[in-house]
Structure 1
């Protein structure tokens, strides 16, 4: 390593900065995508090759671009509000973009053409079916919509007159769990359009749902809410098997603490019986699925926005309001590595299948690609 005098170094030179310059200038990313002119709210990778990303932003735009070189494949034009949802279909042939006002568009990746568009109420979430060209959306009026592509054949699943704040299609492709603003959960049969299980009252959450993930086999769903709880639900019986919350002893009783410790993200480990729950106070909690006991508490200095487990390991990655991506080993509870480069909070991120790259969406109008180095790779 060459030690370069920080003052004399060229802009491009990768020298060593002094401590106080580190904050602003450290950039561990391989590539920066800077076409957006507002905060970048969402990011997805195409599931087949993991080579294409789609990002949506505050500038009312979505872009499909290559994570290898940052080249734009095409722009998803015509939105009239911030694009908050964007993703690829299971076969990577279609891409969806949805804005806050509820305008949803679907594009054919190969021809770069818009093939369908539809307007719903204010959009909460948008998700592709895991095995068919079917798109689902949850809206502020509580409805969930389902469309077949490209015909647009449609079905709706009416909610309890409050926002359908999060949803997850189960791996069998036949059922969908939806969480609502009033803390209730409904497991829907997609074909029949009927509710299989309704979870409410003491069993449900006491606040709006924020996040939801299901186990690989679809037997379990983990839900998170602003009420500070994560619940584990058996999808066959609709029974709540357990409830996870991190008691913060210092300020447990203040209303402020209650408010601030919302569950922001949840996830299942594929290789060990562990779940992770990320909280707004910066706690990443790893729980044992069998005993439902707290294994590790991994503290961040700032709130966590999102978590994702690596597909084939016990490493869980988080992105946070401090603009960093952090990797944690869930077996030991230790931090493996941290990556910086954003000058504002990271609002979303995604790992590729191999866990070798993380692609981030930031409040600094940038998306970045980070190469994740680990000793065992």
Structure 2
């Protein structure tokens, strides 16, 4: 199959991956991760499986099985050797990324766990979900971890700042709750439009946090003062995923089936990566190589090369790399 993907202002499609289940159906992709060097991509979705791919060729390297329901989120540890995942089955799992061996399983809820994120020390991880508190897990100890009261029951996202000082979580209430986990101080809330929030992203310096979801506006807050420092008009799309590429660039994606890269100094988009034919659910960034991975309801994973300065070009996936 040959897919043409028109692009605007740079960023060539490097490889297209279409996972296939044992019954020859293609699973919806709701989670992606990419190794720091951009060599491996991990995907998860509604077939309950986690797959590891070669990011250059699209070759499937490994399949991890164990979740009993839809995989909602996954992250590679800062050390690069472990993978954390959460799913609709209410379980948090920790895997060896080298051989796919399950290292840890915690049944945390009878409902969906929606989000997981590593602490930058690699020894802790935070999870949250529907009707579940945010939990900070010590990965070297047994037990469910320390719990934190959330602003609502329908929680969709959680993250930890790169400096390890703040933890954030948000969901249906449109409120972001920040906990100073390093100092143990009181939590504080950021009002972010009043509609469901799907994604949170700290800047590399931990001084700002991007917040987005159903109200189609990306708000960037000062993480210390709590003030909105800028708003990006993502209309008419609803945003489902966002991440900082560096201090001055933010990538967002969602229901318009496209990925937008914003220059935060000028507050205008510099790239618009198109080709997905369904909502883009997840993004992952490999800063060492400039590769951006994206997953979508269209059942594909795409790897983009943002270092390639292509303008008004059409990227084509090599049939040999399409599975």
What's the TM-score bracket when you normalise by the shorter of the two chains?
Answer: 0.7 to 0.9
Structure 2 gaps, min length 5: 5-12
Specify the structure having the higher radius of gyration (Cα): 1
Q: Does 1:93 align with 2:84?
A: no
What residue is the counterpart of 1:145 in the other structure?
Answer: 135
Instruction: Identify which of 264, 281, 292 aligns with 2:240.
Output: 264
Pairwise CA distance, 1:125: 0.7
CA deviation vs aligned residue, 1:119-163 (integer Å, no higher than 9, x gap): 122211112222222121111115111111131351011112322
Bigger relative contact order (CA 8 A; separation at least 6): 2
Question: d(CA) in 2 for partners of 1:28 and 1:286?
Answer: 17
1:61 aligns to what? 49
After TM superposition, the structure 1 = structure 2 runs for residues 1-377 of structure 1, keeping only pairs within 5 Å, are 29=15, 34=20, 37=23, 39-41=27-29, 42-47=31-36, 51-64=39-52, 69-72=59-62, 75-77=64-66, 79-109=67-97, 113-121=101-109, 122-153=112-143, 154-191=145-182, 194-200=185-191, 204-246=192-234, 261-270=237-246, 273-282=248-257, 284-292=259-267, 294-295=268-269, 298=272, 300=274, 304-305=279-280, 306-307=282-283, 311=287, 325=302, 334-340=311-317
The CA deviation at 1:75 is 3.1
Over 3 Å counting, the alpha-carbon distance change for 1:61 and 1:86 in structure 2 is: same
TM-score (norm 1): 0.65
| 1:41-95 deviations in Å (ceiling 9; x for gaps) | 3332344x655544334233334566675343x6333x22122233332213333
Cα distance in structure 2, aligned partners of 1:43 and 1:316: 10
Q: Deviations over 1:173-232 (max 9, x none)?
A: 1211212211001111224555443112xxx22211112222211111111110111101
Larger strand percent: 2
Q: How large is the RMSD of aligned CA atoms in angstroms?
A: 4.0
Distance 2:15 2:291 in 1: 20
Take 1:102 and 1:174, find their aligned partners in 2: how far apart are those partners? 27
TM-score by length of 2: 0.75
Residues in 2 aligned to 1:324 and 1:338: alpha-carbon distance in whole angstroms: 15
Tell me, what secondary structure is at the counterpart of 1:97?
Answer: strand
State whether residues 151 and 177 of structure 2, in contact with CA within 8 Å, keep that contact through their aligned partners in structure 1. Answer: no
CA pair 246-66 structure 1, distance change in 2 beyond 3 A: closer
Q: Distance in 2 between matches of 1:218 and 1:101?
A: 32
Kindly indicate whether the alpha-carbon contact (under 8 Å) linking 2:293 and 2:303 is maintained by their aligned counterparts in 1. yes
**Conserved 8 A contact 1:318-1:325:** yes
State the Cα deviation string for residues 96-123 of structure 1 (Å, max 9, x = none). Answer: 3322121222234567543321112221
The change in CA–CA distance for 1:168 and 1:337 in structure 2 (over 3 A counts) is: farther
Deviates more, 1:301-310 or 1:54-63: 301-310
Q: Secondary structure at the match of 1:205?
A: coil
Which residues of structure 1 form unaligned runs of 5+?
1-20, 249-260, 343-367, 371-377
Q: Report the count of equivalent residues.
A: 303
Instruction: Please give the alpha-carbon distance, in whole angstroms, between the structure 2 residues aligned to 1:64 and 1:296.
Output: 30
